Homo-oligomer: A and B are copies of this chain.
């Protein structure tokens, strides 16, 4: 069973914006890249060809503390924070040189995929669910605040 994954990554130029920093939408992509790394480390692909189930994103959030810039090297620590019959939740902590740049959260649900049908919630198949465990050691600091909370700067 696996409960966390560390991705080391460098900021690419196309991820920056005219403010000279990584566009905030890219942090959600970084978190997802780490998630897919977690699944590969668990011996799985989150989207194999012709899979009978899929894992759409149900909710996601980020709090941004320090900007990242072109060519910065950073780390994404992704940890499983909750596992239920039909969904998985993760926390992402993005750091650069040991300082937190951003903290994110992501919840995904399992759905049955039938051609031409709307997505339908379904339990996570046991051979997938059995690979993941909730991380025992939480990240040292508090989890992301509610999305509507005021920025702290």
Contacts and interface: CB of A to CB of B under 8 A. Distances in A.
Interface in A16-53: 16-21, 23-26, 28-29, 32-33, 36, 40, 45-47, 49-50
Contacts of A20: 18
Contacts of A87: 150-151, 153
A146 interface: yes
Contacts of A71: 36, 40, 45, 47
A47 B59 contact: no
Contacts of A16: 17-18
Given A25-B29, A61-B61, 14 more contacts: A12-B32, A13-B18, A13-B23, A16-B17, A18-B18, A28-B28, A45-B70, A61-B62, A81-B148, A86-B151, A91-B148, A107-B148, A108-B151, A146-B146
15 contacts: A12-B32, A14-B23, A18-B21, A19-B47, A40-B71, A50-B115, A59-B151, A60-B147, A61-B61, A87-B151, A107-B151, A111-B153, A145-B146, A145-B147, A146-B146
